């Protein structure tokens, strides 16, 4: 039976992209920090390894592009839900061309491509939280109302609510989905406020998992056929208190993934991949 | 998304012109007569209303006279029986055309002066539809706007000048269509949704169009059969606003996989997918926010949604809305104050015109009542309540579910005609198909001007009342931008020409009007607690699947010192108000002190409660406010018979089932055991064992010899006397932590559902006649033993119950109340009392007291809810049912809490004549 909106967290494919050397110096960042490029490279390799080898996803690896220092953060370039892929118009001018390679890759996967051509629209995938039942779009420095409208047009089945993003770069800088109906949320005041707004806007009910560190709230949930519930989250070295919280998730296969370098340029775990379910229903 | 649905009549431009020529002020002798205010108010529109269509209609005889009008209204209940008309006037018959959901037209005739209900019933009969309450009839007004036909009002007053053309539509989209009882109901819902989809009112993705389309094909054409159907069989059907070949191919692809699926199954699948769409059942209205930004207001089962373009920018769940009102073309919602706020805030929206504002208001009132209330609110008595007396008068969802459970007919055969409407490349209302929201609601701004042409006569009495109302209005609701008094009056006049309403400015529609005075006082204080514990649909912080899973995991339980990690989100936080998104389009208007209004309301409410509820409908309260609504039973009504459940707390499907069982006289959840088992000092002691609940039955009746007899007489209600009964259900929250025992307890609480069901079933057969009663007791005993055998070592509850002694019931109520409390306070908390609230609601037959105590013990907050339900009445009360109901509801309402004590106390005043036994 074809069913819509089933199988939250089910993925078959992932799109990732290599790290250009320009990342260290030229990539956008909200605070200054020295990036150890080779360490970043090692971390990214480990991330891809988990997706491909440990979890068995079909990983499409796009080549790094030196002129696009932020290109490793593929999440911002596309929003994929079901068999539809929305190619975004990233808020940062320097990142607009990142979508080209992404579009090609998604086309190759036979997804329905919707492009955001409106020049007044901006949207970063990092501002888009899909809960399985609806979308929340953070209105941030990178994402505007028009961008959210186009997203709503692209995914008509779902309610799309807008949420202001306070302080942080992206909506998902302080939250992510930790399972069906489970929102992982940071404990900072902006994070908690954001969550309250989301719950007010929603017809659905969510549970929350509060972690001490906002950045640790960005994790990757998957529900894989032979793996069960999988959660990729921060390491104990980075956020020891938050890891204690994740450790309590008993029914999960937990994968701490180190992200100490990319985080310096505002890259969280979800930023580095676009996850796709090619077996979704129809 | 609903109001525009369905096929429709063509625009009739000339009519409007005609109306203008005819609608010159008519003097209305009746209106000036000293009559009850109600009559008087209805009179005015009636006289104006019926005069115009008379000209055009083909099948009519002569013009109504006002006297006739009066008569027809006064013979309020039955319109089918020819009410005694003066003289020998011929009954005027009107031909009506009703466009059905499959696109076909059904032509029928009704008497001209009948109410909307007659037409609706006839159409439902024609459709063989029993679960009618989700449906309604629409008509186009002079502005070509769709309006819902009010079943309680005369057809001719609603139709006025237009042709008698209607459409049959879904009015309330059931959030869970699988709970509908009959396939035929689902079929009609499907037809509506198919039109919603094709017309673009219900937007969906390509994938969804494909899936919904494939089920449509399966339902209409059956299995894919290449020989019979050919390869292009599908292009005649419509699935989407912009149907492409690609879509048709995908639909066919899916259709081929459905071999053997019955139409009913296909429709069920269709609905399961459609109900998840974000715009399912959302009735959109164009509006502007206070800054003039174009927005859409969406009314749905859960509340009011605010959209800007396609984006949801705010949402107000019904529990958060205290009051809905409109004034001229403004629509207002008053929002419950946040946790740290003292005052409510009022948010205003501008609608295209007055009629649009009123239409939105009515739709809100109806949706709120249907989906949130237990039973419809009684129409306010004039003099006591300001504003419109419009109320939703149909059954609520809770009532209709209960009623539907009584449907016993075999599944009716019905033909799923290859629906006509999907062959058209146009939407039914003749508008070109588009996916654009903007075309959905055609509240054109220009239409507002038309109003000015309509003039009416206002009698002096009416003016006086309006003025009075205005004064009170102004006192009660000092909304900052309230219109000038003159403007309001004018508006009211205009409106009174068009409807039955006396005046429409600032109408209190919901929650704070109906609850009894005590409720109103406590409402704000306990709102936080209510949020946490009494909201059932979404915000109950109950054990979620998630928590269950975690708590059941073996490695989980030994931990004791961990703080709870995963918490359910409470949907309605009280302090949300001050944290509205910056991008929020809706601006709260200056806050208003409501004290004066509260006072006013309290007075009105208490007087309302004192008097007998009008027409057998007792004032109901909202579930949101944790009031038990009592439905007064009048034995002559079939409906009410089927609604014997004593109180209801909240909507919920499970509860529905239980109450169904109970109303069927099948259900019996409390198992009585004989006295010998556990005598506890007093005469006869029975033991009630309900899962982990243990109830003690004290038989103090001097007339009863053996417990069997006592019970027999209890069950069979031999004693026909005035009885009052106290049920006490004490629920205790299990703090939701991961620490050891708690999740376990929660687990077991859940597992209790099974034995409960067993006992319910076990009670189906025995009838409750005195002869069979002892057999019944035997059976109870048997069941009780079974239940006891089950490992039950949790918190127990003792219940003292069943005392029959001659007392005056009004006194008894108090006495019982106190004694019960003394009995109960055995297990007191040693924590810190955070808050304690008592709410009492009272109707003529039931008094419910809810006592909420919040304590903190060693960092764990514990909430204790005590409910006392006193049922007083001189009719037969099925105590077992009532108790079962109370317990079941308490459990369902607070799935995260456990019932720790149940006390049943029954006192009967035996009249001297009735020395039974």
Determine whether A22 is exposed, middle or buried from the number of CB atoms within 10 Å of its CB (0-12, 13-18, 19+). Answer: middle
By Cβ distance, the residue of A155, A162, A205 closest to B568 is A205
Chain A, window 228-247: residues with a beta carbon less than 8 angstroms from a chain B beta carbon: 245
Report whether A51 contacts A276 (CB < 8 A): no
Nearest CA in chain A to B575: A196
- What pLDDT sits at residue B786? 39
Report whether B907 contacts B804 (CB < 8 A): yes
Residue A271 bears catalytic tag: yes
Flag whether residue A253 sits within 8 Å of chain B, measured between CB atoms: no
Calculate mean pLDDT across residues A18-41: 88
Q: Which residue has the higher pLDDT, B468 or B885?
A: B885
Residue A188 has pLDDT above 90, yes or no: yes
> Would you call B210 and A160 a contact, using CB atoms and an 8 Å cutoff?
no
Distance from CA of A282 to the nearest CA of B (A): 7
Flag whether residue A177 sits within 8 Å of chain B, measured between CB atoms: no
Distance from CA of A83 to the nearest CA of B (A): 8
Residue B866 has pLDDT above 90, yes or no: no
3-class DSSP state of B353: coil
Residue A170 has pLDDT above 90, yes or no: yes
The per-residue pLDDT for range B243-272, each reduced to its tens digit, is 999 999 999 999 999 999 999 999 999 999
Distance CA B644, CA B877 (A): 9
Q: Which residue has the higher pLDDT, B389 or B250?
A: B250
Residue B551 has pLDDT above 90, yes or no: no
Residue A129 has pLDDT above 80, yes or no: yes
Residue B175 has pLDDT above 50, yes or no: yes
Flag whether residue A208 sits within 8 Å of chain B, measured between CB atoms: yes
- What pLDDT sits at residue B864? 63
Q: Which residue has the higher pLDDT, B374 or B908?
A: B374
**Cβ neighbours of B214 in A, within 8 Å:** 2
CA B620 to chain CA centroid, nearest Å: 11
β-bridge mates for residue B105, sequence order: B99
- What pLDDT sits at residue B874? 53
Report whether A5 contacts B276 (CB < 8 A): yes
> Would you call A193 and B579 a contact, using CB atoms and an 8 Å cutoff?
yes
Flag whether residue B247 sits within 8 Å of chain A, measured between CB atoms: no
> Would you call B556 and A250 a contact, using CB atoms and an 8 Å cutoff?
yes
By Cβ distance, the residue of A1, A133, A162 closest to B269 is A1
User: With the CA atoms of A98, A99, A105 and A107 taken in that order, what torsion angle do they form, in degrees rounded to the nearest 10?
Assistant: -170
Distance CA B330, CA B254 (A): 48
3-class DSSP state of B526: coil
Q: Which of B832, B830, B836 is nearest to B865 (CA)?
A: B836
**Cβ neighbours of A83 in B, within 8 Å:** 207
Flag whether residue B259 sits within 8 Å of chain A, measured between CB atoms: no
Residue A140 has pLDDT above 70, yes or no: yes
Calculate mean pLDDT across residues B120-129: 94
Share of chain B above pLDDT 70, in %: 34
> What is the separation, in whole angstroms, between the first and last Cα of chain B?
62
Residue B325 has pLDDT above 80, yes or no: yes
- pLDDT band with cut points at 50, 70 and 90 for residue B862: low
Q: Which of A215, A209, A219 is nearest to A185 (CA)?
A: A209
> Of these residues, A81, A219, A271, A272, which one is catalytic?
A271
Cα separations (Å) of B859 from A92, B116, B442, B557, B744?
Answer: 47, 59, 57, 19, 20
By Cβ distance, the residue of A145, A208, A249 closest to B569 is A208
Counting Cα atoms < 13 Å in the Cβ hemisphere of B185 gives: 23
Calculate mean pLDDT across residues B147-162: 87
Q: Which residue has the higher pLDDT, B482 or B369?
A: B369
- What pLDDT sits at residue A35? 87
Residue A102 has pLDDT above 50, yes or no: yes
- What pLDDT sits at residue B877? 59
Nearest CA in chain B to A178: B566
The per-residue pLDDT for range B12-31, each reduced to its tens digit, is 344 444 443 433 344 444 43
- What pLDDT sits at residue B829? 39
> Would you call B546 and A179 a contact, using CB atoms and an 8 Å cutoff?
yes
Q: Which residue has the higher pLDDT, A266 or A282?
A: A266
Residue A170 bears catalytic tag: yes
- What pLDDT sits at residue B396? 84
CA B312 to chain CA centroid, nearest Å: 25
Nearest CA in chain A to B214: A2
- The pair of structure tokens assigned to A104 is 């090609």
Distance CA B167, CA B102 (A): 11
SS (H, E, C) chain A: CCCCCCCCCCCCEEEEECCCCHHHHHCCCCCCCCCCHHHHHHHHHHHHHHHHHHCCCEEEEECCCCCCCCCCCHHHHEEEECCEEEECCCCCHHHCCHHHHHHHHHHHCCCEEEECCCCCCCCCHHHEEECCCEEEEEECCCCCHHHHHHHHHHCCCCEEEEEECCCCCCHHHCEEEEECCEEEEECCHHHHHHHHHHHHHCCCCCEEEEECCCHHHCCEEEEECCCEEEEEECCCCCCHHHHHHHHCCCCEEEEECCCCCHHHHCCCCHHHCEEECCCCCC
Distance CA B87, CA B505 (A): 40
3-class DSSP state of B784: helix
Residue A9 has pLDDT above 70, yes or no: yes
Highest mean pLDDT among A252-256, B585-589, B687-691: A252-256
Average pLDDT over chain A, rounded to an integer:
92
By Cβ distance, the residue of A4, A157, A205 closest to B569 is A205
Distance from CA of A133 to the nearest CA of B (A): 8
- pLDDT band with cut points at 50, 70 and 90 for residue B344: confident
The per-residue pLDDT for range B613-667, each reduced to its tens digit, is 333 222 233 333 322 222 333 333 333 333 333 333 333 333 333 333 333 333 2
By Cβ distance, the residue of A84, A152, A200 closest to B576 is A200
- What pLDDT sits at residue B379? 61
Q: Which residue has the higher pLDDT, B40 or B393?
A: B393
Calculate mean pLDDT across residues B359-368: 94
CA B405 to chain CA centroid, nearest Å: 16
Residue B376 has pLDDT above 90, yes or no: no
The per-residue pLDDT for range B517-535, each reduced to its tens digit, is 333 333 333 333 333 333 3
ipTM: 0.91
Residue A235 has pLDDT above 80, yes or no: yes
**Cβ neighbours of B562 in A, within 8 Å:** 248
By Cβ distance, the residue of A112, A203, A281 closest to B206 is A112
Distance CA B114, CA B631 (A): 28
Query: B52: part of which helix (H) or strand (E)?
Result: none
Share of chain A above pLDDT 90, in %: 84
Q: Which of A13-17, A193-197, B823-827 has the lowest mean pLDDT?
A: B823-827
Distance CA B842, CA B812 (A): 15
- Strands B321-327 and A175-179, by their bridges, are unpaired
Q: Which residue has the higher pLDDT, B126 or B388?
A: B126
Write down the pTM of the prediction: 0.57
Average pLDDT over chain B, rounded to an integer:
57
- Residue A63's CB is within 10 A of a number of other CB atoms, namely 9
Q: Which residue has the higher pLDDT, B851 or B897?
A: B897
Counting Cα atoms < 13 Å in the Cβ hemisphere of B630 gives: 25
Nearest CA in chain A to B319: A200
- pLDDT band with cut points at 50, 70 and 90 for residue B851: low
- pLDDT band with cut points at 50, 70 and 90 for residue A75: very high
Residue B716 has pLDDT above 60, yes or no: no
The per-residue pLDDT for range B265-321, each reduced to its tens digit, is 999 999 999 999 999 999 999 999 989 999 999 999 999 999 998 899 999 999 999
Distance CA B529, CA B523 (A): 10
> Would you call B571 and A4 a contact, using CB atoms and an 8 Å cutoff?
no
Q: Which of A135, A127, A170, A174 is nearest to A152 (CA)?
A: A135
- What pLDDT sits at residue A271? 95
Q: Which residue has the higher pLDDT, A96 or B683?
A: A96
- pLDDT band with cut points at 50, 70 and 90 for residue B446: very low
Chain B, window 549-608: residues with a beta carbon less than 8 angstroms from a chain A beta carbon: 549-550, 553, 555-556, 562, 565-573, 575-576, 579-583
- The pair of structure tokens assigned to B146 is 């769709």
Beta-carbon contacts below 8 Å between A and B: 149
Distance CA B812, CA B910 (A): 13
> What is the separation, in whole angstroms, between the first and last Cα of chain A?
9
- What pLDDT sits at residue A30? 76
Cα separations (Å) of A101 from A62, A116, A271, B468, B906?
Answer: 7, 15, 16, 71, 77
- What pLDDT sits at residue B216? 94
Distance CA B461, CA B32 (A): 7
Distance from CA of A196 to the nearest CA of B (A): 7
């Amino acid at each position: 039976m074809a069913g819509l909106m089933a199988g939250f967290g089910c993925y078959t494919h992932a799109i990732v992209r290599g790290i250009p050397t320009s990342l260290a110096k030229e990539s956008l960042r909200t605070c200054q920090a020295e990036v150890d490029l080779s360490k970043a490279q090692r971390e990214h390799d480990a991330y891809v390894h988990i997706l491909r080898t440990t979890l068995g996803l079909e990983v499409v690896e796009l080549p790094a592009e030196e002129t696009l220092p932020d290109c490793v953060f593929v999440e911002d370039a596309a929003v994929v839900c079901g068999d539809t892929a929305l190619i975004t118009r990233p808020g940062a001018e320097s990142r607009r061309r990142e979508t080209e390679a992404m579009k090609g890759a998604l086309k190759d996967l036979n997804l329905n491509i919707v492009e955001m051509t409106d020049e007044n629209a901006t949207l970063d995938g990092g501002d888009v939280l899909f809960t399985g039942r609806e979308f929340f779009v953070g209105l941030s420095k990178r994402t505007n109302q028009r961008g959210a409208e186009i997203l709503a047009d692209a995914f008509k089945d779902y309610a799309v609510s807008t949420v202001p993003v306070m302080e942080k770069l992206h909506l998902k800088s302080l939250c992510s989905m930790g399972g069906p109906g489970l929102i992982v949320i940071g404990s900072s005041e902006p994070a908690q406020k954001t969550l309250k707004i989301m719950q007010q806007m929603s017809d659905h009910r969510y549970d929350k998992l509060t972690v001490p560190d906002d950045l640790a709230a960005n994790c990757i949930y998957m529900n894989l056929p032979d793996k069960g519930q999988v959660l990729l989250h921060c390491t104990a070295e980075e956020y020891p208190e938050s890891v204690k919280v994740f450790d309590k998730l008993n029914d999960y296969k937990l994968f701490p993934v180190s992200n100490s370098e990319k985080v310096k340029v505002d890259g969280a775990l979800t930023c580095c991949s676009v996850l796709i379910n090619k077996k979704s229903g129809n | 998304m609903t109001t525009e649905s369905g096929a429709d009549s063509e625009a009739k431009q000339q009519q409007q012109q005609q109306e203008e020529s005819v609608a010159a002020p008519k003097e209305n002798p009746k209106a000036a007569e000293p009559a009850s205010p109600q009559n008087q108010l209805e009179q005015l529109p009636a006289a104006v209303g019926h005069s115009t269509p008379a000209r055009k209609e083909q099948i009519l005889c002569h013009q109504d006279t006002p006297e006739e009008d009066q008569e027809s209204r006064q013979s309020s209940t039955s319109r089918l029986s020819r009410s005694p008309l003066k003289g020998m006037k011929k009954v005027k018959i009107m031909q009506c055309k009703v466009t059905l959901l499959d696109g076909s037209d059904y032509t029928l005739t009704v008497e001209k002066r009948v109410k909307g209900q007659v037409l609706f019933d006839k159409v439902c009969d024609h459709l063989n539809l029993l679960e009618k309450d989700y449906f309604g009839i629409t008509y186009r007004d002079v502005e070509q706007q769709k309006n819902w036909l009010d079943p309680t009002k005369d057809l001719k007053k609603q139709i006025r000048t237009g042709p008698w053309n209607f459409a049959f539509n879904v009015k309330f989209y059931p959030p869970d269509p699988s709970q509908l009882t009959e396939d035929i109901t689902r079929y009609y819902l499907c037809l509506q949704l198919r039109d919603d989809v094709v017309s673009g009112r219900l937007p969906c993705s390509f994938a969804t169009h494909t899936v919904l389309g494939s089920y449509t094909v399966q339902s209409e054409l059956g299995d894919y059969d290449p020989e019979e159907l050919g390869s292009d069989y599908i292009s005649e059907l419509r699935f989407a606003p912009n149907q492409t070949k690609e879509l048709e191919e995908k639909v066919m692809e899916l259709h081929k996989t459905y071999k053997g699926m019955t139409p009913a199954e296909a429709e069920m699948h269709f609905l399961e997918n459609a109900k998840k769409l974000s715009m399912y059942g959302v009735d959109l209205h164009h509006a502007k926010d206070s800054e003039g930004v174009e927005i859409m207001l969406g009314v749905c089962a859960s509340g009011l949604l605010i959209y800007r373009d396609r984006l949801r920018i705010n949402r107000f769940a019904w529990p958060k809305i205290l009051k809905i009102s409109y004034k001229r073309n403004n629509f207002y919602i008053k929002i419950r104050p946040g946790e740290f706020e003292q005052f409510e805030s009022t948010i205003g929206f501008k609608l295209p015109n007055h009629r649009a504002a009123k239409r939105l208001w009515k739709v809100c009132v109806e949706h709120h009542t249907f989906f949130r209330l237990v039973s419809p609110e009684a129409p306010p008595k004039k003099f006591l309540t300001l504003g419109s007396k419009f109320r939703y008068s149909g059954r609520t969802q809770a009532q209709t579910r209960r009623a539907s459970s009584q449907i016993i007919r075999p599944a009716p055969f019905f033909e799923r005609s290859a629906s006509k409407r999907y062959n058209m490349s146009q939407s039914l209302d003749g508008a070109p198909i588009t996916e654009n929201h903007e075309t959905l609601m055609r509240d054109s701004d220009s239409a507002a001007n038309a109003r000015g042409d309509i003039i009416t006569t206002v009698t002096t009495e009416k003016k006086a009342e309006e003025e009075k109302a205005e004064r009170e209005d102004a006192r009660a609701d000092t909304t900052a931008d309230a219109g000038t008094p003159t403007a309001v009056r004018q508006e009211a006049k205009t409106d009174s020409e068009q409807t039955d309403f006396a005046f429409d400015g600032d109408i209190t529609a919901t929650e704070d009007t109906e609850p009894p005075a005590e409720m109103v006082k406590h409402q704000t204080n306990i709102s936080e607690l209510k949020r946490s514990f009494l909201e059932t649909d979404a915000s109950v912080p109950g054990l979620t699947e998630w928590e269950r899973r975690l708590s059941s995991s073996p490695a989980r339980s030994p931990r004791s010192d961990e703080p709870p990690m995963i918490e359910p989100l409470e949907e309605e936080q009280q302090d949300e108000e001050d944290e509205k998104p910056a991008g929020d389009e809706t601006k709260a208007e200056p806050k208003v002190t409501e004290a004066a209004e509260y006072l006013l309301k309290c007075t009105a409410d208490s007087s309302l409660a004192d008097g007998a509820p009008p027409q057998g409908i007792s004032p109901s309260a909202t579930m949101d406010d944790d009031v038990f609504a009592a439905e007064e039973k009048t034995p002559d009504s079939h409906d009410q018979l089927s609604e014997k459940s004593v109180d209801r707390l909240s909507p919920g499907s499970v509860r529905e089932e239980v109450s169904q069982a109970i109303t069927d006289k099948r259900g019996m959840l409390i198992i009585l055991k004989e006295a010998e088992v556990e005598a506890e000092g007093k005469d006869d002691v029975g033991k009630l064992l309900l899962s982990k609940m243990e109830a003690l039955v004290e038989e103090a009746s001097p007339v009863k010899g053996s417990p069997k007899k006592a019970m027999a007489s209890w069950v069979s209600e031999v004693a026909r006397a005035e009885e009052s009964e106290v049920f006490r259900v004490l629920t205790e929250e299990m703090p939701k932590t991961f620490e050891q025992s708690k999740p376990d307890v929660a687990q077991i609480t859940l597992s209790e559902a099974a034995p409960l069901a067993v006992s319910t079933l076990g009670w189906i057969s025995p009838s409750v006649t005195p002869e069979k009663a002892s057999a019944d007791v035997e059976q109870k005993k048997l069941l009780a033993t079974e239940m006891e055998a089950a490992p039950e070592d949790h918190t127990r509850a003792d219940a003292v119950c069943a005392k029959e002694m001659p007392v005056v019931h009004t006194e008894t109520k108090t006495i019982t109340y106190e004694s019960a409390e003394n009995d109960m306070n055995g297990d007191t908390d040693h924590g810190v009392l955070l808050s304690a609230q008592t709410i009492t609601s009272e109707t003529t037959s039931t008094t419910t007291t809810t006592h909420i105590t919040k304590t903190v013990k060693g960092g764990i907050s514990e909430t204790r809810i005590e409910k006392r339900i006193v049922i007083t009445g001189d009719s037969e009360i099925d105590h077992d049912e009532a108790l079962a109901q109370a317990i079941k509801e308490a459990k369902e309402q607070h799935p995260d809490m456990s019932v720790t004590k149940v006390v049943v106390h029954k006192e009967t005043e035996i009249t001297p004549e009735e020395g039974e036994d």
